[in-house]
Structure 1
Amino acid sequence: MFHDKKIVAVIPARAGSKGIPNKNIVDVNGNPLIVYTINAALESRYIDRIYVSTDSIEIADVCRAHGVEVERLRPQHLATDEAKTIDVLKYTLHSLQSQNEIYDYVVLLQPTQPLRSCVHIDEAISLIAAHEDASIISVSEVEDHPLFMRKINESGKLESLLQTSSTVRRQDLPIYYKVNGAIYINKVSDIVTQDISLNDNKIPYVMDKKYDLDVDTLADLEKLRWLLK
């Protein structure tokens, strides 16, 4: 609980994964990948309840073995490649409300961002104190500046992404951030009653980019194993 606000963390973990088979429970230095996110949530000072949304009995068993109960499996229509995370959140929160479990805020924690810690989670939650009605999202400074990025138009010519001159000293470049997918915080009432785009949450929680690793490929997985050593 934070400032008398009840907080539920939702960890989405479906079984299907094309790049890395069984990605959410693949072994990473002795632990299933999802366990790094479970441990961060368990160590949070402010999270009142952890809910893992999964369609997999195997994933559910792993979660139970590491201290998080999984009461029911996600329906199959929310476990396809086309299923949206926001719909999973809506379903989960409605299910909790039907059991008379009422929360003020939901924290979405994707298991593919395992370097995010309980400190990051609690620092992000603490932003609620100043932005009670706002939506919060974790971001990291970009590696490659968008001022030097181009797209090829229909005529085969390069076009700048930013409509400004790229003749500028690097030390004078404005800082740009990317959504890193590690932490999303929203009011439960907003999720269940509105059409929300999580990536458009407004209040930034800035994380050092050294903690930004989204495990999507085998190369990402090997990098994670190396970093955790």
Structure 2
Amino acid sequence: MRVLAVVPARGGSKGVPGKNLADVAGTPLVARAVLACRAAPTVTDVVVSTDSDAIAEAARAAGADVIARPTAISGDTASSEAAVLHALAAFEELHSLTVDVVLLVQCTSPFLATSDVESVAVAVATGAADSALTVAPFHGFLWREDRDGSGTGVNHDPAYRPRRQDRPQDLLETGAAYAMDAAGFRTARHRFFGRTLPVPTDPARVLEIDDPHDLA
């Protein structure tokens, strides 16, 4: 079975310039993601999709192959799905093979663990799910600000404040790792389709780098 992990890592980032090459504990973010994927037993191949020569160099140094991302899908509005679909097709054409399971792994999750990558890969590779994602238990009360500045409870009735153990378990999408049946992904062109399995991970490691404060 061929299981391909794709790490999208474009060069442009307005919130944190050079984000994907940012150093965390002595290793660039893109390299941290590559190393986590390479250590996952079920993953057979790792590629980084990028439009940056510097990111490509760091990715190769960490042991990944590189797929050059076209300008058309490298801008701020380009979706991760577009990058993964392009990398999947390019990888299969380059190696004249068919990928069975494809992963989307985000290098902006600095505390990504190999166990996260492996858990979603196994869920799809074994047929337990068509798509899978890492989630963390979430116990907070969510609010949304209305147009008039007032607040509305999203996942709770503000007039009723049950204890944590009396509430349904909410799950937070961590944004770190996703796995998809490759054939289903090509058809759906979206990371969630068929039977989607949430795979729990440690909430202490949930962090996505969107601004300089996150990186610090």
Normalising by structure 1, we get a TM-score of 0.84
- Give the match for residue 94 of structure 1: 89
Segment drifting more, 129-138 vs 89-98: 129-138
Q: Structure 2: where are the runs of 5+ without partners? A: none
Identity rate, percent: 28
- Give the match for residue 74 of structure 1: 69
**Structure (1 or 2) with the greater strand fraction:** 2
Q: 1:180 to 1:83 in 2, by over 3 A?
A: same
Could you tell me how far 1:53 is from its partner in structure 2?
A: 0.2
- Give the match for residue 200 of structure 2: 206
Segment drifting more, 84-93 vs 194-203: 194-203
Could you tell me how far 1:155 is from its partner in structure 2?
A: 5.5
- Give the match for residue 190 of structure 2: 196
CA distance in 1, matches of 2:191, 2:117: 20
**Secondary structure of residue in 2 paired with 1:136:** strand
CA distance in 1, matches of 2:193, 2:107: 17
User: What letter is aligned with 1:87?
Assistant: A
Q: Pairwise mapping of residues 98-177 of structure 1 onto structure 2 (< 5 A)? A: 98-99=93-94, 100-128=96-124, 131-142=127-138, 144-146=140-142, 149-152=143-146, 154=147, 157-162=150-155, 164=157, 166-177=160-171
**Secondary structure of residue in 2 paired with 1:47:** coil
CA distance in 2, matches of 1:8, 1:129: 11
Contact 1:135–1:202, Cα closer than 8 Å, also in 2: yes
Contact 1:110–1:183, Cα closer than 8 Å, also in 2: yes
Could you tell me how far 1:44 is from its partner in structure 2?
A: 1.0
Could you tell me how far 1:12 is from its partner in structure 2?
A: 0.2
Residues 1:18 and 2:14 aligned together: yes
Q: 1:26 to 1:200 in 2, by over 3 A?
A: farther
Give the length in aligned residue pairs: 214
Contact 1:145–1:176, Cα closer than 8 Å, also in 2: no
Residues 1:33 and 2:33 aligned together: no
Contact 1:86–1:198, Cα closer than 8 Å, also in 2: no
Q: Structure 1: where are the runs of 5+ without partners? A: 223-229
Residues 1:7 and 2:8 aligned together: no
Q: 1:35 to 1:199 in 2, by over 3 A?
A: farther
**Secondary structure of residue in 2 paired with 1:17:** coil
Q: 1:156 to 1:201 in 2, by over 3 A?
A: farther
